[in-house]
Structure 1
Amino acid sequence: MGSLDAQIHGKFNLFVIDAGVDDADAWQRPYLTTPLFRKFVNRSFPLIDIRPNISAPGFNPADLLKSHGFGVLNHKSALFDPSNAHLNIDDEPFLHETYYPEIRDLLTKTTGAKHIFITHSFVRKSRPLGITRPNPPNTGRRAGSKNQAGANFRGTVNHQDNATNVPKHIPAGAGVGPARLPHLDYTHLSARQCIRFYRRDIEQQARESGVIGAEDGICADLPFPTTSAEANAVIAEQYNQDGLGPRYAAYSVWRPLGTVQRDPLCIAPRRGDTGELVEYPYDLRVQGNAELGGDFLREVTLLGVQGKDVGVRREVDAGEVKWYYVSRQTREEVLVIKFFDSAALGRGGKGAEAPWHGSPDIGDVWGEEARESIEVRVIAFW
């Protein structure tokens, strides 16, 4: 795909890493709330349209998912059936009865996973044309804020939620817009944390599938726990050493609610050479199941730059990082993006790692209509 010519440029927000953050202790922040990043710069990158690839005879979405960490699937949803026109996309019974089963079936057929657990869904809408800064805070989080650590995410975190196995839905009214920051929602560490602490049914399946036993076995004689950052390297090295270990993965299934004109979702496969772009991990406080140990910290990663590399109007060297998108993506074209895949761990791993993703500002190249989308996040076991 790298042979395609770049057609347009998209402007991302990049965190200036050495400017630092405020409110760094995730335990003292509200749920799902980022630290306060002190400085960002806007930088443009070429975007490569993969529509010619997905339109070519013989295109197989599963192959692209394996080689690049994302795939584009053609799928008609009952969400848009005229008989459902009177229903609201944020209506949770509608999602549970109609859309979630579709997503499970779609991923089962595409990936071969035996068990699919939906954890979250989001409805997002673009902000006014021309706004390129990061999304505004979800809750008050400036220095000196009186917002307590137990505060919720605009009313979407219920303290009783994780006592059940019900997916969480974040409605359009929560103000979650397209993410201008190139990022990873999961890391190897946060994947291990989520399957153990987030929900009882997921933890049980992780044990029955042999995942927790395999990871804990690798760390059994080590001086640090499986859920620590120190365990990353040894688990990655050994998990698939003698053939693939028990496989688990996390995915995002992203669908526009109309043809995309602005803020396309762009994906960049992970490559060793990121040029001047630097990975910056940070933690989010997540509500966990009380019986599994309660709240935990989930690691997330941004792509940022050092201050010395962001001279006025200077382009940023992105190394081998290339951004792909689907021009004028329709509601029947679904993006499936890896968030994590144990099968990609170590030298014995198979397939691509989770790619970077984000929604840059492309202006009104394709039109001015605001983008609306629905995303469903899942954890899968084989």
Structure 2
Amino acid sequence: MGATPQKTVLRGTLPVPIDDEVQSDPWTREYYAPPWPEKTVKVLFPLLGFRKAVLGSLNEAIDKANAQRFLHDNGFTAIRHKSELHSHPGGTSIFQDQHAMDSVYCPEIAKLIQQLTGCNQVFTVTHRVRGVQAATNVPGLAKPLRIPHNDTTPLGTRQAIRYSRHDLRDAAEEAGILAVEHALYESTHGVRAVDKASQAFEEL
């Protein structure tokens, strides 16, 4: 009898932050962003591909339906998109052009998100182009981040929704999002960072 062939599992190494239980004082830094980890450890993870699940068809309508289903089940997805900027004679450097991003690319992505999710409104808060060339100080290009991280603290996110953009705040309030989020926040934590002694939001 022959041996049953084993399925090959691809694995990749990813730096993971080490929680040394030392909390930095949020009142001595920008509270919006979490502190960058001082220590990391390399961990081997299995690499699970989902390309076939969402991009396995040559039919655009089928791929879109698969992408929507995958988004509903997993909270993220992928979809093919050919931007008008892809045919720009300047190549990928056009993605470092602020005007082109604001006037062409961001509206394209907003429309794509509406088609994919069925939402009524899309707000572009910010964007950033990353690349290895950033090490040579290419204008408009940020270095790649190869570590799992959160862009904002919980308090920073709450503040950003309410105070960074009036149109975003008004839309969230009109849709009832702020009221639901605030009720959930108070029922689970009820934290108010009003003074230096109130730092529990760092642990949310």
**TM-score, normalization: structure 1?**
0.40
- C-alpha distance in structure 2 between counterparts of 1:86 and 1:75, whole Å: 15
Indicate conservation of the 8 Å contact 2:153/2:202, yes or no.
Answer: yes
The reply on whether 1:124 has 2:126 as its aligned counterpart is no
Q: Distance in 2 between matches of 1:228 and 1:171?
A: 42
What amino acid does structure 2 have at the position aligned with 1:68?
A: N
1:196 to 159, 162, 166: 162
Residue 119 of structure 1 deviates from its aligned partner by 0.6
Distance 1:86 1:74 in 2: 17
The offset of 1:215, in angstroms, is: 4.1
Match runs of 1:128-167 below 5 Å? none
Residues 17-32 of structure 1 aligned to structure 2 (within 5 Å): 17-18=19-20, 20=22, 24-30=24-30
Structure 2 alignment gaps of length 5 or more: 1-6, 192-198
Letter in 1 for 2:74: H
Question: Could you tell me which residue of structure 2 aligns to residue 76 of structure 1?
Answer: 82
CA contact (8 A) 1:6 1:46 kept: no
* Match among 176, 183, 190 for residue 143 of structure 2: 176
Quick check: 1:65–1:71 contact (8 Å CA) kept in 2?
yes
Within the candidate set 100, 114, 120, 1:114 is matched to 120
- Deviations 1:192-236, CA, capped at 9 Å, x for gaps: 3332122211111112222223445x37xxxxxx5797149xxxx
Q: CA deviation at 1:67?
A: 0.5
Matching of residue 35 in structure 1 with residue 35 in structure 2: yes
> Once the two structures are superposed, what CA deviation does each residue of 1:49-100 show, in whole Å capped at 9, x if it has no partner?
2233234344410111110111110110011114564963221111111101
Measure the CA separation in 2 of the matches of 1:31 and 1:116.
26
Structure of higher RCO (CA pairs closer than 8 Å, 6+ residues apart)? 1
| Pair 1:12-2:18 in alignment | no
Q: Select the structure that is richer in helix.
A: 2
The structural deviation recorded for 1:115 is 1.0
Among candidates 230, 255, 258, match of residue 189 of structure 2: 230
In structure 2, how many angstroms separate the alpha carbons of the residues matched to 1:84 and 1:122?
A: 19
Task: Tell me the CA shift for residue 34 of structure 1.
Answer: 4.5
Matched residue SS, 1:48: coil
After superposition, the Cα gap between the structure-2 partners of 1:97 and 1:84, relative to the gap in structure 1 and judged at 3 Å, is: farther
Preserved CA contact (<8 Å) 1:79 1:99:
yes
Q: Counterpart of 2:48 in 1: which secondary structure?
A: strand
Which whole-Å deviations, capped at 9, do the CAs of 1:354-380 have from their partners, x for residues lacking one? xxxxxxxxxxxxxxxxxxxxxxxxxxx
Contact residue 34 and residue 152 of structure 2 kept, 8 A: no
Code of the residue aligned with 2:163 in structure 1: it is F
The whole-number CA distance in structure 2 between the counterparts of 1:6 and 1:123 is 34
* Whole-Å separation in 2 of the counterparts to 1:107 and 1:86: 22
- Aligned amino acid, residue 74 of structure 1: R
- Which of the two has higher C-alpha Rg? 2
* Equivalent residues in 2 for 1:1-382, closer than 5 Å: 7-18=9-20, 20=22, 24-30=24-30, 34-35=34-35, 37-57=37-57, 58-59=62-63, 60-82=66-88, 85=91, 88-126=94-132, 171-172=140-141, 175-177=142-144, 179-185=145-151, 191-216=157-182, 218=183, 230-231=189-190
Shift of 1:189: 5.7
**Alignment deviations for residues 317-342 of structure 1 (CA, whole Å, 9 cap, x no partner):** xxxxxxxxxxxxxxxxxxxxxxxxxx
Alignment check: 8 A CA contact 2:54 2:70 kept: no
- Matched position secondary structure for 2:106: helix
Structure whose residues are more often strand by fraction? 1
Taking the aligned partners of 1:86 and 1:55, their CA distance within structure 2 comes to 23
State the 1:20 CA deviation: 3.0
Distance 1:227 1:192, change over 3 A: farther
Q: Are 2:34 and 2:150, in contact at CA under 8 Å, matched by a contact in 1?
A: no
Paired amino acid for 2:67: P
Instruction: Judge conservation of contact 2:18–2:41 (CA < 8 Å) in 1.
Output: yes
With over 3 angstroms needed to count, the CA separation of the structure-2 counterparts of 1:30 and 1:52, relative to structure 1, is same
Q: CA RMSD in A?
A: 3.6
Asked if the contact 1:184/1:300 (under 8 Å) is kept, the reply is no
How many residues matched? 180
Per-residue deviation, 1:6: 5.9
